[in-house]
Structure 1
Amino acid sequence: MRLAYYADDFTGATDVLERYTLAGVSAAVFLSPPEPAELAAYPGLECVGIAGSGRIVGIQELEREWLAALSALTGLGAALVQYKVCSTFDSSARVGNIGHALAVGSRALAQDVVPVLGGCPHLGRYCCFGNLFATYGLDGRTYRLDRHPSMSRHPTTPAREADLVRMLASQTSLPVRSLPLPQLEDLDATLATAEPGLLVVDALTDEHVGAFGRSVLGRAQTPYLVAGPSSVAVGVAGLLGRTPLPASTVDPEPATVVLSGSRSPVTAEQLSHAESAGFAVFRTSATGQAVRALRDGVPVIVRAPNDQGHGSGARIRRALAAAARRIHRDGFARRFVVCGGDTSTSVARALGVRSVSMLARLADAVPLCTARLDDGSTIEIAFKGGQMGAPDLLVDAAGSATPAAARSCPG
């Protein structure tokens, strides 16, 4: 097993899972370091991912979780280990501290230079001279990250700085440097001779991503740490010589429940589109009514409470996790879609998810997965980042809806 990664939320973990699976690489994601029996359920596994909660926790909890994952992944024989971050580098000094996590990993592996891929072109994320730009799903325009209409207003980690060198330097005592596009051809030599610290590498195109993949894969003879979004997997997977898999279609499933903690305008449009198409909408306080709608064959949306005060993120996650447990316990939901990176890991844990593998592709970076639960059963589940997907994504996830049966309850 040569490839491994730790993702700081579940949406990111399944994004990488999709990249490797579609490239023909056998991959699975676990919620904690996997036991031998769990690994045995996936014969021929080439890539192991661990979905963590690093994006929403403080430094001490992040360090404990990350070091446990890193130890487990290197113990499985992984030569290349990715610290997977959101493509918009959601992070702050207090919550989801990427710089600190990479410093911890660097010390644990005694690795002087940690390369960080800044761009993720296939998702509309571009890094140029160390500055990150992101395309906005509602208007199709590309903004510098600190001026992005959604990410600059993120409820947990608003983007205040687009310069990844400055952002990461504010989070760690390690030196942080960049390798701009004009010097990208020197990446191999730079990795071999650079002073210790973090090296942010520009990427605007798939060719830049491929160059990064070649350089880091060539250095992965012993456990080697890299960081970045799912473009790291894109760059690496293309070099492995596997036969790409066709993306499977999603079968209709009216017994679909959407659990949304996302405040992204992109998700808001998707929720509105789904409601217009016949989904019944409930707050977490009306979970019982949501169960009855599912029993009647109506797909449902369960939304987070209107809570934007101090600590609201944690309250929203707890409310959605409790709703997920109740709905699953009653047995009428056969497919779950979880919206929001901050929400994803909490809901997965509440459902008792132990591992997931890709089943089909809903949208770019939003695979539909088969999840194995701790009681031995399985469910279908997708984890959607707030910025991901077209307006009809949730309708596509259910395959159909019944407008005449649509109803809404504010809870």
Structure 2
Amino acid sequence: MIQRHPGDPDNDSPGIQVFDAASDDDLLRIGWRLGVSGVRLCAGCAGFAAVLANLLALSGPPPQVPALEKILFIACGSVNPVTRRQLDYAEQAGFPRFRLLPEEKLLPEWLESRDCAVKVKYWYKTATQKGVCILDTNDPPGGPDAKAVAAERGLDLQQVRIRISHTLGQLMRRLLDNGLEATLMCTGGDTLLALMRAVNVTELTPVCELDTGVVLTHFTYQRKNHYIISKSGGFGEADLLCRLAKLTGAGTMQKEDISCLRNTI
């Protein structure tokens, strides 16, 4: 492996070449030099992907947003402050928001309980009546602490992360099994992967980018096509969820009562 300064590819050296970048200009210079040098296999960060998209000079009509289900069901497995601000913003705008308790998201036996079955039905009813619904795994301020429950059970951070994402994926599958017809949204890569595993899906078909870092894809489950919006926890402005709700036509609340839906998409 050869490590090089920004923008200095070398076709005569075999193996993997690693390039350091300290700015967007560095990324652009590296990408351009790699392109003209004939390199065809690259890997990098999200910032490099943005540069690479322009360097590829792809042509063709822009992708079109298909007709989406007018229910937006959001499953949040991200603890990123950016995502939490988006959730708070949407909740203040009137989005129903349900937070999983520590025992619910950490203990596998809860998934088999009557309480879980009752709550899944209630979330389904809320989503169909309101048109929007948030299922959140973040602890509420001043509420029960998942870290304390994890410590009591001897769970380390990795086990906590896996259990929470697994629970969220299973809950989303049960909502689909109950007949939920919605545009789904997953925040956090673990959440998306957990849902795919829960419904035994191994591939997603990309459709288009709805916002910076916010991608629309679809998958087939039980012979039905489902659209899903996904994003990393750190992407998006505070009003992102509200703008996505307006884009999909989700929500039964009056727009004049939802300030964040004004002057948006």
Same fold (TM over 0.5): yes
Aligned partner (choices 71, 86, 99) of residue 255 of structure 1: 71
Distance 1:376 1:231, change over 3 A: farther
Distance 2:16 2:137 in 1: 40
The answer to whether structure 1 residue 204 and structure 2 residue 23 are counterparts is: yes
Is 1:271 equivalent to 2:121 in the alignment?
no
The amino acid of 1:389's aligned partner reads G
Q: Which runs of 5+ in 1 are unaligned?
A: 1-112, 114-175, 407-411
The answer to whether the 8 Å contact 1:261/1:343 transfers is: yes
Q: Which amino acid aligns with 1:296?
A: Q
After superposition, give the CA deviation of every residue in 1:124-167 in whole Å (9 maximum; x if it has no partner). xxxxxxxxxxxxxxxxxxxxxxxxxxxxxxxxxxxxxxxxxxxx
TM-score, length basis structure 2: 0.70
Asked if 2 retains the 8 angstrom alpha-carbon contact of 1:209 and 1:231, the reply is no
CA distance in 1, matches of 2:66, 2:91: 20
**Is 1:192 matched up with 2:29?**
no
Following the alignment from structure 1 to structure 2, what is the Cα–Cα distance between the partners of residues 312 and 384? 21
Structure-2 residue corresponding to 1:329: 177
Partner of 1:350: 198
Report how many aligned residue pairs link the two structures.
221
For the 8 Å contact 1:273–1:391, the answer to whether it is kept is yes
Alpha-carbon contact 1:256-1:335 (below 8 Å) kept: yes
Q: Name 1:381's counterpart in structure 2.
A: 228
Aligned equivalents of 1:217, 1:346: Cα separation in 2: 40
Shift of 1:247: 6.0
Residues of 2 paired with 1:210 and 1:253: CA distance?
Answer: 42
The one of 294, 303, 306 aligned to 2:127: 294
Q: Which runs of no fewer than 5 residues in structure 2 stay unpaired?
A: 101-115, 140-145, 151-155, 259-265
Aligned pairs (5 A) from 1:3-402? 113=1, 177-180=3-6, 184=7, 187-188=8-9, 190-193=10-13, 198-202=17-21, 204-205=23-24, 208-209=27-28, 211-215=30-34, 218-220=37-39, 225-243=41-59, 245-246=61-62, 248=64, 253-284=69-100, 285=116, 286-304=119-137, 306=139, 307-308=146-147, 309=150, 310=156, 311-369=159-217, 371-399=218-246, 400-402=250-252
Is the contact made by 2:83 and 2:233 (CA closer than 8 Å) also made in structure 1? yes
CA distance in 1, matches of 2:190, 2:228: 16
* Counterpart-to-counterpart distance in 2, 1:296 and 1:217: 55
Q: For 2:35 and 2:56, locate their aligned partners in 1 and report how far apart those are by CA, in whole Å.
A: 13
Aligned 8 A contact 1:340 1:385 in 2: yes
Cα distance, 1:326–1:384 mapped onto 2, change above 3 Å:
same
Q: Output the TM-score relative to the length of structure 1.
A: 0.47
Change (3 A) 1:388 1:250: farther
Question: Take 1:246 and 1:303, find their aligned partners in 2: how far apart are those partners?
Answer: 33
SS in 2 for 1:266: helix
CA distance in 2, matches of 1:391, 1:245: 30
Q: CA deviation at 1:237?
A: 3.8
Q: CA deviation at 1:218?
A: 4.1
TM-superposed deviation, 1:364: 0.6
| TM-aligned CA deviation for residue 374 of structure 1 | 4.7
Is 265-274 or 250-259 further displaced after alignment? 250-259
Does the CA-based 8 Å contact 1:362-1:393 persist in structure 2? no
Identity of aligned residues (%): 24
